[in-house]
Amino acid sequence: MIHVIAIITAKPGMRDAVLEAFRANMPAVHAEQGCIEYAPAIDAEGAGKIQTPFGPDSFLAIEKWESMDALKAHGAAPHMRAYGEKTKEMIASRVIHVLQPAA
């Protein structure tokens, strides 16, 4: 299994618009072969001092894929290119961590 944590930081005030596009793309991603999980997450409220917040302009894409090949196919999918085009002017930065379970 492959885990992906993508940290998406929108330009100020644009997070909701990026999340709207992300959510609109989710059904196509969920239909991809090898997709186990694909969902956005934002800072939880009320966590107190244990939390290091990402901030009001950021969200994370939490993903699980059956294999590296499935993840690579996801990255090349036409709907992902369309999502990238739709959101590129709204995004300040994107950091992607690709992980595997520790042995």
Among 74, 99, 102, residue whose Cα is nearest residue 2:
99
For domain 2-43+54-99, give the fold: Alpha-Beta Plaits (3.30.70)
Domain ranges, ordered by start, for the chain: 2-43+54-99
CA separation for the pair 40, 26 (Å, rounded): 9
pLDDT digits (tens, 9 = 90+) for 56-70: 999 999 999 999 999
What pLDDT was estimated at residue 103?
Answer: 87
Mean pLDDT across the chain: 97
What is the pLDDT averaged over residues 10-18?
Answer: 98
Among 78, 73, 54, residue whose Cα is nearest residue 6:
54
pLDDT of 18 > 90? The answer is: yes
CA separation for the pair 80, 46 (Å, rounded): 33
pTM of the model: 0.93
What pLDDT was estimated at residue 64?
Answer: 98
